[in-house]
Amino acid sequence: MFDEMPQRDLVSWYQKDLISFCVNTKSLVQTQQAHAFAIIHGLFPTSISISAALILGYATFSSHPRIVQMMFNQSLPFSRPAFLYNTLIRAQTMMGVAGDHIFPFGVYNGMLRSGVVPDDHTFPFMIKLCTDYTEVKKGLECLNVESSRRVFDEMVERNEVSWNAMIGTFAHNGFNNHALESFRLMIDEGWKVNSTTISSLLPVLVELGKFSKGREVHGFCLRTDLECDVFVANALIDMYAKSERSAEASAVFYNMDSRNVVSWNTMVANFAQNRLELEAIGLVREMQSNGQTPTSVTLTNVLPACARIGCLCSGKEIHSKSIRNGSVTDLFISNDITDMYAKCGCLNLAQNAFDMSLKDEISYNILIVGYSQTSYWSKSVELFFEMVLNGMKHDTVSFVGVLSACATISAIKQGKEIHAFAVRRLFHEHLFVSNSLLDLYTKCGRIDLSRKLLCLRPCERMALNPIRSHILLCYQHVVMGD
């Protein structure tokens, strides 16, 4: 545009240089300098290009969304084209604007109210903004399905992308029947199914329990060579794994021409979830020998497998790898490591892993339960009250674990303290907690307290757990020597 100008004045040269400067700014200070220069030489707010460049400059270097909105508001309202609105939408997308600053759709709605027609660049920016905006994503989960269908039906033109988007939206939000119905309509209307369609459909069939239909889809993939697609193959492995068909999942996995880290993780999860712990551990080793680095997802699947079969050696090996690649700092990984050591009976190693990692309620519960089954029962009580000091909330597992520790060595005094604490926190009426209290008092020989506990709400408690009265009678029989 500049080169085509028949006459150029000093302002034109200023404008060209200033736009170039704004595009190449390296800091907020330089953006502010460009802003001041534009105001002094009358280029802002009269120049749309300068306004757009400054908006993007502030969006890049400033953490205050209101500055970007202010720059837009200061532009001349009667000369705002779609380009300037698109720039503001893009800037908000870059900054990840939250709802307590500027409502994301406000710019788009203002654009429509001003009579400005959105162009081909408006909608991609809006879609990206909606994707990043968490409140909109939460709203989509509650989206009325019929409204979604109505919007889709009103589309003038449809293609495979629009069909796949609709199926994926339904599947993602749990509307599995609608997703399956949309797939059938897509086939009936003669649209070609691709890897995206299959990858969205297979999880739907798993959720609906339609395993036979999933096998039919697998047959279709074989006939159309879609099984060669890594995303389709990963979805097939996941389907077979969740349907407890590990052999079929393995067949798909080992027939793959190329595998990505998701393929390996899905297969490790398949073995671990179907109680094939040794196969899961062996596959992680095979994964590494094939040049793939285990991720946090890999470790969260294989560590519980090591814990279930007490495979301490493999657990230590995985722990050392997590230290080397830095994944040990992940809270879920550190909890799994602590749990693995505790279930393998190495509470000293579990305590070390606990001390060196981030902690949450689950971290404490692992050790409370672990110590409750050893002679170090006092450590369970100590950790229980340490949770209070650290501002963490107890749950049922916390109370059951610490009460089990007290019951193991008949610590009636500490047990009563925990009971009082449970009453204050309204946990005493929970079935598992009250069972643990009953076990505590009977093991301590306090049949009177056990009876009192049962008589608090006799009808409801007997209906919930009739075996409790049998436990009480057995202990009473032993105490009385009958």
Rounded to the nearest 5°, which phi and psi values hold at 322?
-65, -30
Angstrom distances, CA of residue 329 to CA of 128, 292, 324, 332, 386: 31, 20, 11, 9, 22
Angstrom distances, CA of residue 84 to CA of 14, 115, 125, 143: 20, 14, 13, 31
Residues whose CB is less than 8 angstroms from the CB of residue 95 and which lie 6 or more positions away in sequence, other chains included: 59, 63, 65, 68
The answer to whether 335 and 363 have CB atoms below 8 angstroms apart is yes
Q: What local confidence, expressed as pLDDT, does residue 340 receive? A: 92
pTM of the model: 0.61
Q: Please state at what angle helix 82-95 crosses helix 104-113, rounded to 10 degrees.
A: 170
Q: Would you kindly state where each structural domain of the chain is located, as residue ranges?
A: 1-143, 159-258, 270-358, 376-482
Give me the tens of pLDDT residue by residue for the chain, a chain 482 residues long: 444 444 444 445 456 666 777 667 777 788 877 777 777 777 777 777 878 888 888 877 766 667 777 777 777 665 678 888 888 877 877 766 444 444 556 777 777 777 788 887 777 767 665 655 444 444 444 445 566 666 667 766 777 877 887 787 778 777 788 788 888 888 888 888 888 888 888 888 888 888 888 888 888 888 888 888 888 898 999 888 888 888 888 899 988 888 888 889 999 988 988 888 999 999 999 998 888 888 888 888 999 999 998 889 999 988 988 888 788 888 888 999 999 999 888 888 999 988 888 888 888 889 988 888 877 878 888 898 888 888 888 888 888 888 888 887 777 888 788 788 788 878 777 788 878 887 777 877 787 777 777 776 544 444 445 455 555 555 554 444 44
Residue matched to tokens 């993780």: 265
- Residue 342 CA to residue 373 CA, distance in Å, equals 10
Q: What local confidence, expressed as pLDDT, does residue 458 receive? A: 45
The alpha-helical segments, DSSP class H, found in 326-395 are 331-343, 347-355, 361-372, 377-389
Q: What local confidence, expressed as pLDDT, does residue 68 receive? A: 75
Residue 191 is encoded by which pair of tokens? 């649209």
Residue 411 is encoded by which pair of tokens? 């610590």
* Residue-wise DSSP of 17-59: HHHHHHHT--SHHHHHHHHHHHHHTT-TTT-HHHHHHHHHHHH
Containing 145, the helix (H) or strand (E) segment is: helix 145-153
Angstrom distances, CA of residue 310 to CA of 277, 322, 344, 375: 10, 19, 5, 20
* Residue-wise DSSP of 248-300: HHHHHHHT-SS--HHHHHHHHHHHHHTT-HHHHHHHHHHHHHTTPPP-HHHHH
* Residue-wise DSSP of 168-207: HHHHHTT-HHHHHHHHHHHHHTTPPP-HHHHHHHHHHHHH
Q: Which fold has domain 159-258?
A: 1.25.40
Angstrom distances, CA of residue 251 to CA of 103, 110, 232, 255: 50, 56, 14, 6
- Residue 383 CA to residue 459 CA, distance in Å, equals 35
Q: What local confidence, expressed as pLDDT, does residue 76 receive? A: 65
Half-sphere exposure of 70 (CA within 13 A, CB side): 7
**For residue 434, which of 413, 461, 458, 471 has the smallest C-alpha distance?**
461
Q: Which residues of 457-482 are buried (b: 16+ CB within 10 A; e: fewer)?
A: eeeebeeebeebeeebeebeeeeeee
- Residue 346 CA to residue 64 CA, distance in Å, equals 51
* Residue-wise DSSP of 71-138: HHHHS-GGG--HHHHHHHHHHHHHHT--TTT--HHHHHHHHHHTTPPP-TTHHHHHHHHHHH-HHHHH
The answer to whether 388 and 376 have CB atoms below 8 angstroms apart is no
- Residue 174 CA to residue 114 CA, distance in Å, equals 38
As a dihedral over the C-alpha atoms of residue 54, residue 58, residue 64, residue 65, rounded to 10 degrees, the angle is 50
